[in-house]
Amino acid sequence: MKTMKVIEVKEPGKIELVEKEIPTPKKGEALLKIKYCGICGSDVATYTGNQPFASYPRIPGHEFSAEIVEIEENDLGLEKGMIVTANPYFNCGSCYSCERGKVNCCESNETMGVQRDGSFAEYITMPIERIYKGNGLEAKQLVLIEPFSISYHAINRGDVQKGDKVLVFGAGAIGIFAMVSAKLRGAEVYIADVFEERLEKAKEMGADGTINVSKDNLEKRVKEITNSNGMDVCIEAAGLPQTFLNCIDSVAFAGKIILIGNGKGETTFNHSILLKKELDIYGSRNSLKDFEPLIDLVSNGKVGTDIENIVTNVFTIDEATEAFEILTNNAASQLKVLIKFD
């Protein structure tokens, strides 16, 4: 029996490196050797016990790049030795959303690392139709396509336009990728956060300006930027009640609010302000159709920034506990943390 190393959350607060048998692919599946995995906020939530959909023990991880080790003949042009990534969201295919082709909104969605075991293992199997060619991208770039796709989908869903003044609340990985995505559509994009380190990284990756809400007067800065009109689009990428309220206050009349951040608490407000401003509010979930367009954009050098700059730390598989501890206790200084498996 051939075995592999697997990172497993045994219970909240307890993570271990364990040995498991290398999986055997079924018909229609490929065997993948993991190269890199990204640690998402949902993985940290599983580790800390704040992920309501996770059961234990659980192998986390849904952001990954891998090498194809074993694959049957297929019509996607996928071959052994290719560096690839994959769609980690498993939809049921039979709910109302799936029937309408809105598979990212599946009512019974199962995400790798949450409702089912994920990619924090040396080898995994994946359905072939879920695998995407890397088009020459390095494994360290491909691992970033999944989080990038979340933000890219949100910007497309909100139909951000060239010349729009956009303010992103939250300069984490998703917020910065939202900024990059809005810039791709020709918008003038600002980003707000309480951590100066994150704001500096956002500027480095192309933000037109930043607002440190722990120091700056948010209302005053928005008025200065917009000639007192308010932002055309506000993007909530922090998941906090206050940042959602900041969006409502900062957006222009007849403006748009795009919600990406997973809510971390109840929000109380008078909904009449939504009527008064006649706001368009877009909820945005995971994306399935944006992997390949993003891979093409990055591989063709059309993104306008080096997406690897968002990586703040890379750990080995043997340092997994340290990686999760750093993210849990020093989140301000971290954007995207990777685990290197190979």
As a whole number of Å, the end-to-end CA separation of the chain is 21
Q: Is the pLDDT of residue 163 over 80?
A: yes
pLDDT at 342: 82
How many percent of the chain have pLDDT more than 70?
100
pLDDT at 334: 86
Dump pLDDT digits (tens) for 251-287.
Answer: 999 999 999 998 878 889 899 999 999 999 999 988 8
CA–CA distance, 72 with 329 (Å, rounded to integer): 44
Q: Is the pLDDT of residue 324 over 70?
A: yes
Domains defined for the chain, CATH in brackets = 3-143+305-340 (3.90.180.10), 149-283 (3.40.50.720)
Reported as a pLDDT band with limits 50, 70 and 90, residue 162 is very high
Find the Cα–Cα–Cα–Cα dihedral 182, 257, 175, 112, rounded to 10°: -110
CB distance 193 to 171 below 8 Å: yes
How many percent of the chain have pLDDT more than 90?
89
pLDDT at 265: 82
pLDDT at 286: 86
Lowest mean pLDDT segment, chosen from 40-44, 86-90, 191-195: 40-44
pLDDT at 52: 82
Query: What average pLDDT score do residues 152-156 get?
Result: 97
Lowest mean pLDDT segment, chosen from 7-11, 40-44, 50-54, 80-84: 50-54
Whether the CA torsion 130, 131, 133, 137 is positive or negative: it is: positive
Residue, of 46 and 263, whose pLDDT is higher: 46
Helix (H, G, I), strand (E, B) or coil at 58: strand
**Average pLDDT along the chain:** 95
Place of tokens 């722990």: 214
CA–CA distance, 5 with 340 (Å, rounded to integer): 12
pLDDT at 136: 94
Reported as a pLDDT band with limits 50, 70 and 90, residue 188 is very high
pLDDT at 331: 67
Dump pLDDT digits (tens) for 287-309.
Answer: 878 999 999 999 999 998 999 99
| Helix axes 241-250 and 218-226, enclosed angle (nearest 10) | 40
CA–CA distance, 110 with 187 (Å, rounded to integer): 34
> What is this structure's pTM?
0.95
Q: By C-alpha distance, which of 208, 206, 236 is closest to 303?
A: 206
pLDDT at 25: 97
Q: Is the pLDDT of residue 215 over 70?
A: yes
pLDDT at 210: 98
pLDDT at 263: 82
pLDDT at 53: 84
CB distance 185 to 258 below 8 Å: no
